[in-house]
Amino acid sequence: MSLILACMGLRCNYRGQFSRAQLLMPVLKMTQVTILTLFYFGSESGFHFLLVQAIAYSFIVFRADQRFVKGLIVALTVLLFLMCEYLSLTDLYLTESKQSFMLVSVFFFIALYFSIVIDLVMSRLKSVNQHLRVLAEKDELTGLSNRRKVLADAVNIFADSVINHDTCVFAIVDLDHFKKINDTYGHEAGDFVLAKVSAKMQSVIRTTDKIGRYGGEEFIILMPKTKLAQAELVMEHLRQTIAALTIETEQGIIIPVTISIGLAPITTEVTRYEEILASADKGLYAAKRSGRNRVSVSPDFQD
């Protein structure tokens, strides 16, 4: 039964049900040690000292906000230890000759128990690290990659493109007249617009492309293995989609939004990804000067 319960705990752990798994394991350990001490080995064997594992477990696995559960486990462990010390039977179910075989069986179970506990702790650490990684790489407002993450993607895509001699295009996207939106409707409405536009851009770009918030109302889109002409078509489709987007606030206010986009491809003369971003920024300024709500290739690459 202990082995079955241990496997259930392992299954809960792999399914991400950490709360069930972390509560099942100490209960299993306390129950097993108590029954074996009271009915099989007796208090003279000192087997009940293994209950200290449950106390150590409670301090290692349970979080700081789980003080009640941690305290309950410790209190029950102490109570069970005292019960084993003073209430164990004199007529045991196992003779002394058979106890050695049972001890070997218990040894293997304890080894399995510790393996499950370590796996549980490592799974919790991996889950926490993954959550922290997401927080460190995601922009809180838009849900897109933040500046640090999208620039890291730019480095990797640039390096891969150079090494493999692939085409690649970087784009910088800017919301037109965003300051006017903030001044007219308020910063809360501005944040609402950013979130809506970001979600729409994420749904429109190709699965192979990367997008992230560059800062303020600016975004970077990275298009690996893409030629400049193809990138212009993709970004023009994005521009039209945003221009047709209806953004309505909770107060029923319709806020029109358009975007300007600057493009720059990777060439053999480029040695750093920052040069591509600088060229794409020139394309963005060209789009702004031409009246906004348009896609412009950097002047560095125009015939």
DSSP 8-state symbol, 48:
G
Active site residue 274: no
Q: Are the beta carbons of 58 and 26 closer than 8 angstroms?
A: yes
Sheet bearing 218-224, strands edge to edge: 210-215, 218-224, 168-175, 259-265, 295-297
Say whether 222 sits in a helix, a strand or coil. strand
What sign for the dihedral angle of Cα 9, 15, 16, 20?
Answer: negative
Q: Are the beta carbons of 283 and 264 closer than 8 angstroms?
A: yes
What DSSP string runs through 225-249? T--HHHHHHHHHHHHHHHHT--EE-
Task: Return the exposure string of 48-62: e unless at least 16 CB atoms fall within 10 Å of the residue's CB, then b.
Answer: bebbebbbebbeebb
Find the catalytic residue in 137, 140, 217, 269: 217
| Angle made by CA atoms 253, 244, 153, in degrees to the nearest 5 | 105
Count, residues in the chain? 303
Mind telling me the catalytic residues?
Answer: 217
